[in-house]
Structure 1
Amino acid sequence: MKYFDYAATTPLDPEAAEVYLKVATEYFGNASSLHDIGGQSAALLENCREELANLVGVDKTGLFFTSGGSEGNFLAIEALLSSPKKAGNHIIAGMAEHSSIHGTLNRLKEAGYEITLLPLDSNGLINLEQLEKSMKSETILMILQHVNSEIGTIQPIGEIAKVCKDNNIHLHSDFVQSFGKIDLKPIASLVSSFSFSGHKIYGPKGIGGVYVNPQINWQPFFPGSSHEKGFRPGTVNVPAIAAMTVAAQKITGRIQTENSKDRLLRKTFIDTLAPIKEKVKIYQGDEGSQLASIIGLGISGIEGQWMMLEANRLGFALSTGSACQLGMQSPAKVTLALGLTTEEAKEFIRISFGHSTRMEDVIELGESMVKIVNEFKAVSVI
């Protein structure tokens, strides 16, 4: 089967897998233990922390390891709320945020916080003027993802961070889809916190991290936690962290090469859909605001679920949105944020490229989708 769902997860890099096995068998000590075996594990852990911090240009003392992006988002938000820059109970977030963000916001709303959700414009971006109009004197936190996981648009986090700084508002950004795919050094130190995940960058599943600006005097959400300076409970998964670090080093080293390749793959795929272009709607920003490896689109008159199953039958793996919400059969959150109709939302599908995606496979997928649409039209006429 030809895989086009890299935005959902990636295969484990072979070198990262080797590192995982080596660390799990040779550096198996608990990093919190005081004996030499624990000390070896602790030293490796801190080397990984420093390396990952250097890759994105942040202070390593603010980097904490988690079980992944979802836990990272939750813990980062709670950390910022434990140490607001001013009094207030108003939170602004994007309507298209990951389901882990929305789950946290629902709980906070029940706890008495006021939540404002911002839609996306026709280019899949947050309107900065609308953002500023949504702010109040009580606004203490803003939550906006860097790259949307379903259409790949890139939010201007640098500009948003300045607005937040000028108004004493914390900013948390979900970097899960941009970590390793975009140079984050210009913006990583500008936010109050960000999250990332190992399995999106060819590292293991069940590992990720959070950066919280060290100047923020956050309080632990779980009282009595001793690991990661109290940021989260549970023995630190050093083998997975080491493997993720290797994967991060490799993917960060090929950002420019991969982005150039993905732009070509994207153009080729879209060109291949030319025979049905009048039925295809691609949701995207301009080139400077678009991660080329993620394509969100809809085909008029054909439900995304049906297209996904037909593509699967022909040997192609693609999706209808974030894997974290598919089990609920709810529309992709980005379709709500874009203001699509119910029918348009049902038509949404996502195609995403990765390191192993080949040009011939992209062409074959495009041609197969054209065939699926034409066969569907023929059946409909009959």
Structure 2
Amino acid sequence: MIYLDHAAATPMSPTALGAYVKAAEEYFANTSSLHEQGEKSKQLLEKCRAETAQIIQASPNEIFFTSGGTESNILALEAIFSANGQADSHVITSAAEHPSVQTFFKKLESKGIEVSYLGVDSSGQISVEELKQTIKRNTVLASIQHVNSETGTIQPLHEIGTVLRESGVIFHSDCVQSFTKLPIQVDKLPADALSFSGHKIYGPKGTGAVYLSSRIKWDSVNPLTTHESGFRPGTINLPGIASFTAAAIESVENQTSGLEYIRGLRELFFEELKPFTQKFLVEGSSDEAQLPHIIGMGIEGYEGQYILLTLDRYGICISTGSACQSGKQDPSVMMQALNRTPQEARRFFRISLGVNNTKEEIIRTAEVIKECIYEREGNAYG
């Protein structure tokens, strides 16, 4: 089996799995219990919080653990707007956000809140100049993702954050696809809230975290909540948090080498497909505004679903977009934001690379795609 769907979920690393088992065996007590075992579990929880905070240069009291990226996005946005928004407030997001973020803003719209959706250019980036022009006197919150899960497009977070901070607008960013893959340091990045997920960084599913700057106000979404300082209800998933933290530390330690390795695999993939370059549409950017891990593309004359099923027959796993939108017949959020025609949108498929992939796997995947085209188009390519 060749697994090329890491943007949907990564396999747990041995380090993360070991941390999970150890925490489950030795730190099983409830972190809110007052006995010695409960205190022991609480100490591990706070150690994980401090280590996660250190990764992004935050303070431990600014880190809140969650059940994953979707909950991180929704809870962060709801907590911020609850404390800072009014009935006449204005908020900003982009047309290419993850469904969890779009759900929050659609909910605000249904309550009469004015929402501005920024468009994207051909590479998937928003215009910072348009953002400046969109800000109003009553704008209180903006949410712009760091990396798009379908195309790998990187938004210029520092420029965006600088504009928003100068205008007094609270800035949240969905960093689920970028966390530990790209440098994120909140002592240098003008962002107020960030969302992370465990199963994108070789940690367990059902884990995530939120960074909420101590400079902003937020309200508990669920009254009487005591866990995570009132940010999230429910018993703490300590084995998951320990595993998430271990995975994050390991991933950050290998960030530079991992990025270079993935970039090499991406270049190899396109080199192997060189004879068919004229038939491809590769989404995103080819420069520094592109996370190399994600290859979103289409082949002229082929539906993405056909490519997915063909590769699946050979034991190669890819996707046709975000896993959170699978099963829907409508074009993906990003394809709509890029103004792709229905036909172009149906061509889309995504290959997302991981640190465990080998050059041999990439070459084999390219071979199967080439065979697929040869079979349908005969000797047109020699």
- Are 2:84 and 2:140, in contact at CA under 8 Å, matched by a contact in 1? yes
Amino acid at match of 2:217: N
1:146 corresponding residue in structure 2: 146
Q: d(CA) in 2 for partners of 1:231 and 1:188? A: 25
Cα deviation per residue 1:37-88 (whole Å; 9 max; x = unaligned)? Answer: 1100000000000000001111111110000000000011011112328984
Query: 1-side partners of 2:341 and 2:116: how far apart?
Result: 21
Note if contact 2:157-2:189 (Cα within 8 Å) is conserved in structure 1. no
Please give the root-mean-square deviation of Cα atoms over the aligned residues, in Å: 1.7
Range with greater deviation from structure 2 (169-178 or 365-374): 365-374
**1:267 corresponding residue in structure 2:** 267
Aligned to 1:369: 369
Structure 1 residue aligned with 2:97: 97
Is the counterpart of residue 182 in structure 1 residue 169 in structure 2?
A: no
- Give the 5 Å matches for 1:114-263: 114-185=114-185, 190-263=190-263
Counterparts of 2:107 and 2:86, CA distance in 1? 21
Rounded to whole Å, the distance in 2 between the matches of 1:81 and 1:319 is: 34
Q: Distance in 2 between matches of 1:287 and 1:4?
A: 22
- Letter of the 1:197 partner, please give it: S
TM-score, scaled relative to structure 1:
0.96
Tell me the TM-score normalized by structure 2. Answer: 0.96
Q: How many Å separate the matches in 1 of 2:89 and 2:344?
A: 35
Distance 2:188 2:52 in 1: 12
Q: 2:106 matched to 1:106?
A: yes
Amino acid at match of 2:57: G
In the TM superposition, residue 285 of structure 1 has moved relative to its aligned partner by 1.6
> The residue matched to 1:64 in structure 2 has which SS?
strand
State the aligned residue count: 380
Identity %: 43
SS of residue matched to 1:155: coil
Equivalent pair of 2:121/2:338 in contact (CA under 8 Å): yes
Aligned 8 A contact 1:118 1:337 in 2: no
**SS in structure 1 of the partner of residue 363 of structure 2:** helix
**Equivalent residue number for residue 289 of structure 2:** 289
In the alignment, structure 1 residue 69 sits paired with structure 2 residue 69? yes
Measure the CA separation in 2 of the matches of 1:330 and 1:133.
31
Once the two structures are overlaid, the 10-residue window that deviates more, 368-377 or 136-145, is 368-377
DSSP-derived class of the 1:235 partner: coil
Q: Which moved more, 1:112-121 or 1:309-318?
A: 112-121
Would the aligned equivalents of 2:87 and 2:112 in 1 still touch at CA under 8 Å? no
Deviation at 1:378, TM superposition (A): 4.5
Tell me how far apart the structure 1 counterparts of residues 57 and 68 of structure 2 sit (CA, whole Å): 20
Deviations 1:136-180 (A, max 9, x none): 222211110001111111111011001101111111100100001
Instruction: Write the deviation string for residues 312-354 of structure 1: whole angstroms up to 9, x where unpaired.
Output: 1122100011001112233221111111111111111110110
